[in-house]
Amino acid sequence: MKNLEEFFGRYPRCALAFSGGTDSALLLYEAGRLGADVRAYFVKGPFQPRFELEDAERLARELGAGLSVIDCDVLALPEVAANGPDRCYHCKRAIFSLIFERAAMDGYPVVIDGTNASDDVADRPGMRAISELGVLSPLRLCGITKAQVRELSRKAGLFTAEKPSYACLATRVPTGTEITRAALERVERAEDALRELGFSDLRVRLEGASARLELPEGQLAEAFARRGEIIDALGRHFIHVSLDLSGRKNTD
């Protein structure tokens, strides 16, 4: 497929799995610009931090797009809570099945997502679930990379243009360690506290009752200089707080 105009010409009525992130934000914008009838669906659960929903609501409001919020307690699924190597497969399958069900009720026969041409889909259980369900990925089908997504978003004036990629809170818990709501809430509070201190594009990884902080390399010196503030902010949630000196990589 050559471009998004061709895609939405072929699929003029779609349900968009909407995270409030850079990729799905651009899709929602382009769909409106090209005259397609696309409704956004945000699945709200324990793996999604509050700010993601706030960003999704803000973007839908600014674009004048329809947004449906669907509640889903994925921790009620034993295979998700157990946090095995196939956790993402079961989680994505549950989430997208709900979107398909709700979209069908609303009259949207096609479900799309924001996977782009830069995403490595070869060994990702979540992508296998999406493929099995028949979700279409317009950005990937049209060969649009992450860098192009950001450039197009800047030209469109979207506030998500420079938004860092964000993986769900479940990725903060080591594989094989049971995921609990309390653990996810601790991580979310800790990451919120660090953002309030001015840090960004960060992760707080759980290591038992302790936490390992990952920051981009350019923020490491400031973090060390302000370690007292960080300990004050995170000490209420964890016994020990460590800083990964290798710097955060753009993987989860």
Chain segment 73-99, per-residue pLDDT in tens? 999 999 999 999 999 999 999 999 999
If one counts the domains in the chain, the total is 2
Same domain, 147 and 30: yes
Same domain, 133 and 211: no
Q: Which two tokens stand for residue 126?
A: 């979540």
> Which domain does 150 fall in, by range?
4-156
Chain segment 214-230, per-residue pLDDT in tens? 999 999 999 999 999 99
Same domain, 82 and 202: no
Residue 86 lies in a domain: yes
Residue 161 lies in a domain: no
Same domain, 189 and 145: no
Per-residue b or e along 216-226, where b marks 16 or more CB atoms closer than 10 Å to that residue's CB: beebbeebeeb
pLDDT at position 251: 58
Same domain, 9 and 90: yes
Chain segment 13-27, per-residue pLDDT in tens? 999 999 989 999 999
- CB–CB of 26/156 below 8 Å? yes
Query: Residue 122: pLDDT above 80?
Result: no
Query: Residue 165: pLDDT above 90?
Result: no
Same domain, 36 and 152: yes
pLDDT band at residue 252 using 50, 70 and 90 as cut-offs: low
Residue 167 lies in a domain: no
Same domain, 148 and 220: no
3-class SS of residue 38: strand
Helices (H), the chain: 4-10, 22-33, 50-63, 78-81, 87-106, 125-133, 138-141, 146-156, 181-196, 220-225, 227-234
pLDDT band at residue 211 using 50, 70 and 90 as cut-offs: very high
What CATH number corresponds to the domain at position 82? 3.40.50.620
Query: Residue 67: pLDDT above 70?
Result: yes
Instruction: Round the average pLDDT of the chain to a whole number and report it.
Output: 94
Chain segment 107-121, per-residue pLDDT in tens? 999 999 999 999 877
pLDDT at position 77: 97
Query: What pTM does this model have?
Result: 0.92
Beta carbons within 8 Å of 80's beta carbon, 6+ residues apart: 74, 87, 90, 91, 94, 170, 179
3-class SS of residue 67: strand
- Of 156, 157, 200, 182, the closest CA to residue 51 belongs to 200
